[in-house]
Structures are given as C-alpha cells and as structure tokens.
Amino acid sequence: MNIVKKVAIIGAGNLGSQIAALSCKGGFCVEVFDVSESAIEKSKKALQISSIKYCSKRDELSKDCDLIIETVFENMRVKRNVLSWVDKYFTNSNVVICSNSSEFLPSSLCKKMQRKNRFCSYHFHSPSTHADIVDIMLHKKTDSDVPEVLTQFTKNIGLVPFVIKKEHKGYVFNTIFNEVIAQSISLAVQGIAKPEEIDRCWMVNTKMSIGPFGMIDLVGLDTVEDIMYNLLPKKPLNVFAIRYFKKYTKQNYLGKKTGQGFYTYPDPKFETKSFLE
Amino acid sequence: MNIVKKVAIIGAGNLGSQIAALSCKGGFCVEVFDVSESAIEKSKKALQISSIKYCSKRDELSKDCDLIIETVFENMRVKRNVLSWVDKYFTNSNVVICSNSSEFLPSSLCKKMQRKNRFCSYHFHSPSTHADIVDIMLHKKTDSDVPEVLTQFTKNIGLVPFVIKKEHKGYVFNTIFNEVIAQSISLAVQGIAKPEEIDRCWMVNTKMSIGPFGMIDLVGLDTVEDIMYNLLPKKPLNVFAIRYFKKYTKQNYLGKKTGQGFYTYPDPKFETKSFLE
C-alpha cells in the first residue's frame, strides 16, 4: 500500500495553500505548483513555512510524489488537462491522484487520464467555515486502496474523512447545506424575514455559531451568485434571488473578503453576544 | 395593554403540558383544559405541579383569562371550532388568543372568530429538540399590541420570541430545517450515504449535537411520514422516501418514543463520543 510521504499540491490558491499548511503540520514533505508567480508569492506570504517547496515550472516537481491533490479553479476543461498531465508526469505506480472539485463528478474529471483507477475526488471545505469533514468520493474504477490512503492522510492532517462510494453531485454536506442557503435566500426575497433575523432564528435553534447569511458572507456573495446562475435551468425562481444579490454585489459587498456583505467586518454583528437575545 | 396574569391552555397534550409548566415557572396562573380525562391524568402525572388548575368541562375555565393558547391536534375543522368557542367564551376585551398550529396559517385558522384582531399564531417547537425560538406569526388583521404581549410573555417563560409579520407556511426555521430533513432522506434513499453517516457528517461540520435522522427520531417517524404524504402533490419523489420509511414504521420503529427508530434508545449511538471520530 501507498504510505504517503511526499505530497504535491497543484494550485496555490487559498484552499491549496491551506491544504499545504495542514500537510506540512502533519509531517509530510510538501511541494506546491502554480503557473502564476503572484499566486505563489501570495501563498508564501500567507503561510510563512520555509519547508514547503514552491514550483512555478512543472518539471521542478519531484516525479516520485505519492499523493497529488489538484486544487485549480473550477473549470472542467482546465481540470481535465491538469489531471491528464499529472497522470503522465508522476511515476510512482501506486500514486494517488485526486481533485478538490466541488462541482464535478470524479468519473467525468478523469476522462483524459490513463490511470483512472488511481483517481477520486477529495473535497475540502473552506477552512473559514470550520467544517472539518473532507469528502472522499469514489467512482466505479477507483482502486480499493485509494480511499484507505486518503482516509489515513485526512486523519494525519487533523481532519475527518468521509468516504462516499456512489457518485453524487454536491457530496453529502453541501447537498444538504445548499438547501439551507437556498431556503434562507427565498425567505429573505419574499420578505418573510430579514437576513439577520433568519440567522438569529437558525443560530438560536441549532446552537450553531453562524447562520446561513453569515455563511454566505464567508463563501462570498459572488460565488453564491455564480452557483445560482448555474442552477437557473433547474431552479428558475433563482431569478429573484439573483436580483436580490445584485443589490449587494453591485456595490462590491461580496462578504468577509471585501469587509462588507450581509454583515460588516471584521466584527460582524452575529458574533456579538446580544445578537441572540 | 394586556398585562398577562392568567393563561388558559386548550389541550393537555405533550406540548400543551410543556407550555403549562413553563408558564407556571414564569409566575403565571395557569388553567389547562382538555375534553379527555385520560389526557388530563397523563399531564398531571408528568408535570406534578399542584398550582395548575385542570378542567375537563369548558365552563370550569375562568372567563377572565388574558392569554389563551390553543394546542389541540392538527386538524383545521377542530381548531376552527375550538377557536370560535374560545373567542365567545373569554370576556377580557384585550384578551390575546393564539394557536400553536405548525401547519395552518393564522388568517385561515381564525375564519370563524369574531375578534380576529386579537388572534395570531404562536408556535412552540417540541422541547425535546432544544429549539428555543417561539414563532409569533401575525395575519393582516392582528392588532399591533398582540405581538408585544406575546414577545414579553415568551421572554418571561425563558424562551426567544421571533415575530413574523407576513404569513408563511412553515414559519422560518421549519421552512429551512424541513429541507435539511428532505435532502437527508433523499441521500439515504439514493444510497449515497447511510442515515448514521449523514448525521455524523452534519454533526462534524455544524458542531450540532444532533443530526437530521436523530431529529426525525425525536419528532417521530410516523409524523414525518405523514408530512411526506401531505406533500406528495408537490413532491412526487416522496413516494420513494415513504417506501423507505415504511420499512421502519411497519415494525413500530417510530423513533425515541418507541425506543427504536434510526437509533436505539435510551442511549442512541449519536450521543456517544466515538460517533464523531
């Protein structure tokens, strides 16, 4: 079985960097690749971990990495091309190759790969959401040792593995929580309650430390707007939700990252004690 | 303004009894009415509060109660008749009359009442779910002091008032959480993950102490099955969910109340420490 020692992360964005940091902390050798020098600089500055090897040229990566995690942006064509190259480049015969895609199914992502049996989805939630589950979603051709390797690796980096044997868009948690978001937006759009009121109601009843609109602020209003656009053929009522979101996004109220979304940052109202009273 | 002193609770079922106990603890005079002597005996035995006045005949209730909370079972005809009688019986001119209905809209419930302006919905969640929000849902004719009276009363009995000015079936929290339940059942029916796995995933990510299937066990599988039946015209896919539930309900696996549902009681697996690992 593959005993992971060397991890390659393809894509130095927010999530890629976070996975690199966790892997490093878990005692693994970590190499991070990105075509963008500025992405690499940003990642270096954010992490400040000298033992991570950054590469901006493909052939700088060690060919004998055991675990390859692709975290490039959510575009099927780009992901397929990256995975096809990864498949050819890394030589370890029991390498595990995985994609962090939140949208696409593993059987579709690996279309251009030869070693489809060494591949599955490996989905991290954004660390800022404090969601500790990492989804390991197999497709029909995935070798049985692959989820074992990823289960062990996930535990080693301090997170909770969750194996899903049957492909399903949205995994398990996102499938459920996306509906929480959708229903909350729908209630706000209909004027039944305001975003803050909905969050308060959710937080009082569930004892969660964040509500649906606080979560949208973390994920980014632009990202949620994109998801709603993509779902338009299935959910035509999203038209009203998108119009509602536009009022915020037009003013660059994109959530925590721009300092303003449904709440104002760095000290959003929902984090104050009096919010729940 | 109506300063509540005397509360009448119409219906001595589980929820009626719980509201009676909270009202008593909050310092109010409490009278509980039920046509069923056995319901009254059960309530007396469960609460053991000697200061509560129980009545099995309508005219035993004090005519000058300030707040009347109807908690009879979920049947529109029965509720309308009870509310019509309540409206005529209690003489206080600024009495507040409300219904604990979880299904019906206040404007519809008060159809047979004269004093529609003194009426709104007042919805308690089952205490076993630890959901502290009490919904106060107005209809167009509700007087403006009515939500104020109920807001103050809710705080006095240690719960959190949540005023909804525009009528909406399912209130706010149930509208959202019902979708959590629906999506979870759908994932289980499709075989994407097992009930226990879904709960674990939900609990790890949200830090809630219970997951969707644990919640179904609390509410009762028979109750959830009924709700799915009622929704069939809107959600034909529920056919598969109902078939899935039948496997449990046929064996009297109705949840916590029968000792067996998705979990075995009194010590369900999801309450053990190792469940989340």
Mean pLDDT for chain B?
94
- What is residue A4's predicted lDDT score, i.e. its pLDDT? 96
**Which residues of A touch chain B, with CB atoms under 8 Å apart?**
125, 129-133, 160, 162, 164, 166, 168, 172-173, 175-177, 179-180, 182-184, 187, 190-193, 197-198, 200-202, 204-209, 212, 276-277
Nearest-neighbour CA in chain A from B41: distance (Å): 31
- Rounded Cα gap, residues B138 and B144, in angstroms: 9
Looking at A87-193, which runs of residues are DSSP E strands?
A: 96-99, 119-124, 133-137, 160-164
- What is residue A219's predicted lDDT score, i.e. its pLDDT? 87
Q: Is the pLDDT score of A235 beyond 80?
A: no
At A45, which helix (H) or strand (E)?
A: helix A37-47
Q: Is the pLDDT score of A232 beyond 90?
A: no
Which residues of A are less than 8 Å from B181 in CB distance? none
> Would you write out chain B's pLDDT as a tens digit for each of its 277 residues?
668 999 999 999 999 999 999 999 999 999 999 999 999 999 999 999 999 999 999 999 999 999 999 999 889 999 999 999 999 999 999 999 999 998 899 999 999 999 999 999 999 998 777 889 999 999 999 999 999 999 999 999 999 999 999 999 999 999 999 899 999 999 999 999 999 999 999 999 998 889 999 999 998 999 889 888 877 777 777 889 999 999 999 999 999 999 999 999 999 999 998 998 8
DSSP letters, B204-233, are: HHH--SS-HHHHHHHH-HHHHHHHHHHHTT
Backbone angles phi, psi at B67, to 5 degrees: -135, 125
- What is residue B232's predicted lDDT score, i.e. its pLDDT? 74
- Rounded Cα gap, residues A229 and A241, in angstroms: 10
Confidence category of residue A2, pLDDT binned at 50, 70, 90 = low
Which residues of A are less than 8 Å from B177 in CB distance? 205
Residue with tokens 């519809």: B108
Average pLDDT over residues A207-224: 92
CB-closest option in A125, A197, A276 to B205? A125
Structure tokens at B189: 């029916």
Burial of A274 (0-12, 13-18, 19+ CB in 10 A): exposed
Please give the ipTM for the structure prediction: 0.91
B106: closest CA among B168, B152, B153?
B168
Q: Is A163 helix (H, G, I), strand (E, B) or coil?
A: strand
What is the DSSP pairing of strand A133-137 with strand B160-164? unpaired
Average pLDDT over residues A58-83: 96
| CB of B58 closer than 8 Å to CB of B49 | no
DSSP letters, B99-120, are: E--SSS-HHHHTTT-S-GGGEE
- What is residue B95's predicted lDDT score, i.e. its pLDDT? 97
| CB of B68 closer than 8 Å to CB of B10 | yes
Structure tokens at A41: 């600089």
Chains A, B: CB pairs < 8 Å = 106
Backbone angles phi, psi at A163, to 5 degrees: -85, 130
| CB of A31 closer than 8 Å to CB of A52 | yes
Q: How far is CA A206 from CA A88, A247, B130, in A?
A: 48, 29, 8
CB atoms within 10 A of CB B233: 8
- Rounded Cα gap, residues A215 and A176, in angstroms: 14
| CB of B218 closer than 8 Å to CB of B128 | yes
B109: closest CA among B134, B136, B75?
B75
| A104-113 pLDDT, tens digit each | 999 999 999 9
Residue with tokens 């709440």: A263
Percent of chain A residues topping a pLDDT of 70: 99
- Write the CB contacts of A140 (distance below 8 Å, at least 6 apart in sequence): A107
